[in-house]
Structure 1
């Protein structure tokens, strides 16, 4: 699967840490040229130092509509786009502020719309768009009111784009994990009192590893998924059927 992506050109947002960082490194090791988008300059420099030949950093704040369009104007023709950047502000509903709401919608859905629309002329026929969503798009969790709404909107956008872009031979899908054990995920869910109730509803009795998310993204980017379009791949160990 990964060898299928050798010599491809793929843009990944949210490349500074977590899933995006791991994905950029995996794609680069497979021989793909990866345009790594993030807003943290230090993280981008560190990432580029891993493989300067294959990793091309692009510093941009995705919440700035016009700056995004200016920055992406320099991007070459693409074989793939991964909309991975995301923000989760987890609070009880009554404590969420207007800024909390706007920040999550600006990054999790508005930026995806802007990036994808801007890059559409650069996406080759046969290319693939992968959106990193969440199982929270379809299931409810305490404190996730605004976040879940953004991911539900992202899933809807995924299906709509799959329909509209299919005629151009561009596929659009998403991966929808539950808790992913990035550094932040491990820190946030290390307390058994918090993780226990959720794990009790996951038949595999564990959370998702980062490589399981990147493998699913790699599959959707590759020709191995050439007839997969408009789908959400749930990475949740059976949570949805429990």
Structure 2
């Protein structure tokens, strides 16, 4: 059986933990060669040691050599550009790396604002530019998925810079889809509700706060990593070949309010 991403090379940022790490595993298990970026060397080392279940071959657990790791902070644009230039053709890109800092409007500092915007918005824009240039030169198209958030549409207390960065990512996704579409490059975003990754726990581990947030979700639960990864894989695949410029809520109905 043909594999969804056989012969494809994917680059995933924020690959050391949470959604990014799970995305790397899903793409490898679907036949892709993956370049995993993280700023934490220990996370990349443990990722390389993890067994992968190759669903497209005979069932066999083993270390997969098709994961290449790069220890890079995505806000270091020259370093990221160097990774892209040395990677060979990249067919799939997942802009997943993100940061937040819980600060009110009155307490947000310029440094905190700049850091969040640099990682959450500026880095994905320019990484997409670097990768898209190669896609355009080759003429074979490609797919980009940006990991955004329902916070792009819903105001959250103590999330001024984070909400702003994700709103910017949604619009960047649409402009990229508009300009890159003629080159057969699809650009979409996934917009999860709370996912209890390490970053999610930092913001939502308080039971009173999380309970109040969950009451706004018709399905009555936060998202699991797999919920988001499944959406990412779908948007990267040919099964979504007519989707571009989409901001796909993975929110259990949160945005119906």
| TM-score class normalised by the smaller sequence | over 0.9
Instruction: Tell me the secondary structure at the aligned position of residue 6 of structure 1.
Output: coil
Alignment of 1:17-166 (within 5 A): 17-50=17-50, 51-123=63-135, 125-166=140-181
- String of CA shifts for 1:158-185, please: whole Å, max 9, x gaps: 0000000000000000000010122443
Q: Which moved more, 1:185-194 or 1:84-93?
A: 185-194
Give TM-score scaled by structure 1 length: 0.95
Q: How far apart, in 1, do the equivalents of 2:182 and 2:256 lie?
A: 34
Partner of 2:219: 204
Provide the alpha-carbon RMSD of the alignment.
1.5
Q: How far apart, in 1, do the equivalents of 2:182 and 2:8 lie?
A: 21
Structure 1: give runs of 5+ residues left out of the alignment.
none
Q: How far apart, in 2, do the equivalents of 1:191 and 1:89 lie?
A: 16
Q: How far apart, in 2, do the equivalents of 1:99 and 1:186 lie?
A: 23
- String of CA shifts for 1:101-134, please: whole Å, max 9, x gaps: 0000110111111211112232352310000000
Alignment of 1:148-187 (within 5 A): 148-186=163-201
In the alignment, is the contact (CA less than 8 A) between 2:91 and 2:143 conserved in 1? yes
Q: How far apart, in 2, do the equivalents of 1:204 and 1:91 lie?
A: 29
Partner of 1:240: 255
**Number of residue pairs aligned between Structure 1 and Structure 2:** 241
Structure 2: give runs of 5+ residues left out of the alignment.
51-62
Stretches of 4+ aligned residues off by more than 4 angstroms: none
Q: How far apart, in 2, do the equivalents of 1:5 and 1:71 lie?
A: 21
Instruction: Tell me the secondary structure at the aligned position of residue 91 of structure 2.
Output: strand
- String of CA shifts for 1:70-98, please: whole Å, max 9, x gaps: 22210111221000001111211111111
Q: How far apart, in 2, do the equivalents of 1:72 and 1:169 lie?
A: 20
Give TM-score scaled by structure 2 length: 0.89
